[in-house]
Structure 1
Amino acid sequence: MNDFDFLAGTWDVVNRRLLKPLTGSDEWDEFPGRSVATRHFDGAASFDEIAFPTKGRYGMTVRLYHPATRQWSIYWASSATGTLDTRPMVGAFTGNRGEFHGEETHEGRPVRCRFVWTVVDERRARWEQAFSADDGRTWETNWTMDFTRAS
């Protein structure tokens, strides 16, 4: 249940976001972020806030561990919408790789969504998001975040 303990602290984040997901485009927008994460419930909950200074917005993630299923539920909120996602991404870690799945809406249509967390070492981690328009047969990565622990 302590899978997200690695994230506690302050991080500099390099974001790369695909400008037009699921269109065949390969045009990316790269922008900085600064994340501050904390652990709660003795490691069974994790919270972070990320600032995107060049975008003028913020994001917030709440992660909760369910002991009976040994899975995490991940909820996202954005200052751009002012809402907390009601459908979590659900999954678990195996070693230093976590995989989480859920349903999203992209441009009015439902898509499958996948998050992958990779803990590189104590100073580096990576998060990536991918969409699937064919029920998980193929995936297109549309957002990556490379985390480096702030000094």
Structure 2
Amino acid sequence: MSGRGFDFLDGRWAVRNRRLADFLDPDSGWAEFDGHTTGRLFWDGRAHVDEIVFPTEDFRGLTLRLYEPETGEWTLNWSDSRTGALCPPVRGRFAEDGTGEFLGDDSYRGQPVRVRFRWSDIAEGTARWEQAFAPAGSGGWVVNWVMEFSRA
């Protein structure tokens, strides 16, 4: 398997969240809340599943990450307990510096958006995940959710 996979995310983590009230409005204000997640590797590291729990929020999330050997890319597939629907996947890979960037198309409040997930600052006991949206046809990203992971 080329590139860096999600082996770092295996196990239990505490997660500090910062999330914009409106994912496309950088001035809408940030909410901060804690969470925790437990992840597990499958298929010799080519698949990873985790559930994230937000005790003060009204939902949980589930992510399925799959490595595609033919393309050398990962697909990241997200669903949450509010809808049970699987969101369109984002797709990408980790660079030599260990940063992962994953892109896809989705919609937000009925508006088409480009989605970017970025993994960075990956170390033995820490990692950072960032989500950003760009309205279709625009080049401007709005970072709207940041998770700071620390090993539980």
Shorter-normalised TM range = over 0.9
What residue in structure 2 maps to residue 37 of structure 1?
39
TM-score normalised over the length of structure 2: 0.93
**1:126 paired residue among 125, 128, 142:** 128
Supply the distance in 1 between the matched residues of 2:30 and 2:71 (Cα, whole angstroms). 37
Within 1, Cα distance between the matches of 2:26 and 2:124? Answer: 35
Aligned to 2:140: 138
Structure 1: gaps of 5 or more residues? none
Identity %: 46
Deviation (angstroms), 1:25: 1.5
Runs of 4+ in 1 over 6 A off after TM superposition: none
Q: Which structure shows the bigger proportion of residues in strand conformation?
A: 1
Q: What secondary structure, in the 3-state scheme, does the structure 1 residue paired with 2:129 have?
A: strand
Q: Please give the alpha-carbon distance, in whole angstroms, between the structure 2 residues aligned to 1:119 and 1:70.
A: 22
Q: In structure 2, what is the equivalent of residue 110 of structure 1?
A: 112
3-state SS, counterpart of residue 92 of structure 2: strand
Aligned residue for 2:6, secondary structure, equals helix
* Count, aligned residues: 149
Aligned partner of 2:91 in structure 1 is 90
Query: How big is the shift at 1:3?
Result: 0.9
Which residue is equivalent to 2:20? 18
Letter in 2 for 1:27: G
Distance 1:72 1:3 in 2: 8
Say if 2:26 and 2:142, in contact at 8 Å, map to a contact too: no
TM-score normalised by L of structure 1: 0.93
Q: CA deviation at 1:24?
A: 4.1
2:136 and 2:52 map into 1 onto residues whose CA distance is 31
Q: Distance in 2 between matches of 1:22 and 1:102?
A: 16
Q: Letter of the 1:115 partner, please give it.
A: F
- 1:24 to 1:5, Cα distance in 2 relative to 1, 3 A: closer
